[in-house]
């Protein structure tokens, strides 16, 4: 998917919501456990109920890998279901990969070709030759971890390297990579006050912003500091949406939560026109 197609979808749906499909069999409604593929059944119900309210879905691969082959099959069925029924939706494989060049190439093939995701999250730590193999794919997007939402982000990412913080160095150096136009960045919603500085460095790039809902980040604060004229934000909520209810009404409850977030986003969108 091109960035322009993503922008068009945001304008049409008046939403820049990304729903995280982080499926935990201990948290989904227990009646689904008798189904042949409970993870896929859960995802399908959530997607059917919410696809008109969001522009992206982000399955975090850990939640699938944890269930072995069954989990991977459910991930494959989920991405195929999205690509066949909702090709306008932006899909994110939250896999946080990155390795030496030939290994990164294989990760990129796995997620961009075999599973046909639009994007993947990548850790920047191993540098240029670990990131560029992902960037080589046309109309696919590499979402680099810049400043993450967790407390551990302060261990390294905000430490000063030379004259500036490491996360700023990551952003600056990554802009010199081949095909850097395919880069997006992760900035945690819990670090909203850093977004003004980040926007100085990357005014136009899309940011994936997880951490609203369960982690306590504020959608309004993120928009205040992070929004650009194309919106430039994908705000993710996983647990806050998909586990709104653990009863039979779970998909309806998820849609109600997604609607709440979409409506807040619609208000924010009015501020940039
Ligand atoms: O890359 C991510 O998506 C990510 C980066 C980050 O800094 N913080 C973060 O929470 N995430 C992911 O975003 C999701 C957040 O889930 P909730 O806290 O349930 O909304 C999880 O899948 C996390 O792995």
| pLDDT tens readout for residues 35-71 | 999 999 999 999 999 999 999 999 999 999 999 999 9
Of 268, 260, 233, the closest CA to residue 244 belongs to 260
Contact 53, 260 (CB under 8 A): no
Q: Compute the distance between CA of residue 31 and CA of residue 25 in angstroms, rounded to an integer.
A: 11
Terminal-to-terminal C-alpha distance of the chain: 25
Ligand 1 pocket, residue 59 CB under 6 Å: no
pLDDT by residue for the chain (273 residues), tens only, comes to 999 999 999 999 999 999 999 999 999 999 999 999 999 999 999 999 999 999 999 999 999 999 999 999 999 999 999 999 999 999 999 999 999 999 999 999 999 999 999 999 999 999 999 999 999 999 999 999 999 999 999 999 999 998 999 999 999 999 999 999 999 999 999 999 999 999 999 999 999 999 998 899 999 999 999 999 999 999 999 999 999 999 999 999 999 999 999 999 999 999 876
Q: Regarding beta strands 160-161 and 164-165, do their DSSP bridges make them parallel or antiparallel, or are they unpaired?
A: antiparallel
Q: Could you tell me the distance, in angstroms and rounded to a whole number, from the CA of residue 100 to the centre of ligand 1?
A: 24
Count the neighbouring beta carbons within 10 Å of the beta carbon of residue 266: 13
Indicate whether this model's pTM tops 0.95.
yes
Of 92, 87, 90, the closest CA to residue 58 belongs to 92
* φ, ψ (nearest 5 deg) of residue 188: -70, 140
pLDDT score, position 273: 62
Which residue's CA lies nearest to atom 4 of ligand 1? 210
ipTM: 0.99
DSSP secondary structure code for residue 128 in this structure: H
Please pick, among 96, 138, 168, 175, the residue that the annotation labels catalytic: 96
pLDDT score, position 272: 78
Task: Calculate the CA dihedral of residues 97, 102, 103, 109 and round it to 10 degrees.
Answer: 70
Pocket test for ligand 1, best of 149, 158, 257 (most atoms within 8 A of CB): 149
Kindly give, in sequence order, each residue whose CB lies less than 8 Å from that of residue 41, ignoring residues fewer than 6 positions away: 32, 35
Q: Could you tell me the distance, in angstroms and rounded to a whole number, from the CA of residue 162 to the centre of ligand 1?
A: 29
| pLDDT tens readout for residues 115-133 | 999 999 999 999 999 999 9
Which residue's CA lies nearest to atom 7 of ligand 1? 148
Of 170, 115, 116, the closest CA to residue 147 belongs to 170
Give the start-to-end residue ranges of the domains of the chain. Answer: 3-270
Token representation of residue 29: 């409604």
For residue 227, the SS3 value is: coil
pLDDT score, position 213: 85
44 classed as catalytic: no
For residue 148, the SS3 value is: coil
pLDDT score, position 217: 95
Q: Compute the distance between CA of residue 57 and CA of residue 238 in angstroms, rounded to an integer.
A: 9
Ligand 1 pocket, residue 148 CB under 6 Å: yes
Of 242, 134, 218, the closest CA to residue 182 belongs to 134
> Does CATH number 3.20.20.70 belong to domain 3-270?
yes
Ligand 1 pocket, residue 238 CB under 6 Å: yes
Contact 261, 43 (CB under 8 A): no
Q: Compute the distance between CA of residue 93 and CA of residue 147 in angstroms, rounded to an integer.
A: 18
């Amino acid at each position: 998917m091109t960035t322009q197609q993503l922008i068009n979808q945001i304008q049409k749906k008046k939403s820049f919501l990304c729903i995280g499909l982080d499926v935990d069999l201990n948290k989904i409604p227990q009646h689904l456990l008798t189904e042949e593929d409970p993870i896929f059944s859960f995802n399908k119900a959530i997607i059917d109920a919410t696809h008109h309210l969001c522009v992206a879905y982000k399955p975090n691969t850990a939640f699938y890998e944890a269930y072995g082959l069954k989990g991977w099959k459910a991930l494959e069925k989920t991405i195929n279901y999205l690509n066949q029924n909702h090709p306008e939706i932006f899909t994110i494989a939250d896999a946080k990969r990155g390795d030496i060049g030939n290994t990164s190439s294989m990760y990129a093939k796995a997620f961009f070709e075999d599973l046909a995701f639009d994007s993947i999250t990548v850790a920047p730590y191993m540098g240029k030759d670990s990131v560029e193999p992902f960037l080589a794919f046309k109309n696919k997007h590499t979402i680099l971890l810049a400043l993450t939402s967790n407390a551990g982000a302060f261990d390294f990412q905000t430490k000063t390297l030379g004259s500036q913080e490491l996360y700023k160095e990551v952003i600056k150096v990554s802009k010199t990579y081949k095909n850097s136009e395919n880069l997006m960045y992760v900035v945690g919603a819990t670090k909203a006050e850093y977004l003004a500085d980040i926007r100085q460095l990357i005014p136009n790039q899309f940011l994936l912003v997880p951490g609203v809902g369960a982690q306590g980040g504020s959608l309004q604060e993120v928009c205040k500091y992070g929004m650009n004229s194309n919106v430039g934000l994908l705000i993710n909520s996983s647990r806050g949406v998909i586990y709104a209810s653990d009863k039979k009404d779970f998909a309806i409850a998820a849609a109600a939560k997604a609607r709440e977030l979409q409506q807040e986003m619609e208000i924010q969108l009015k501020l940039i026109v």
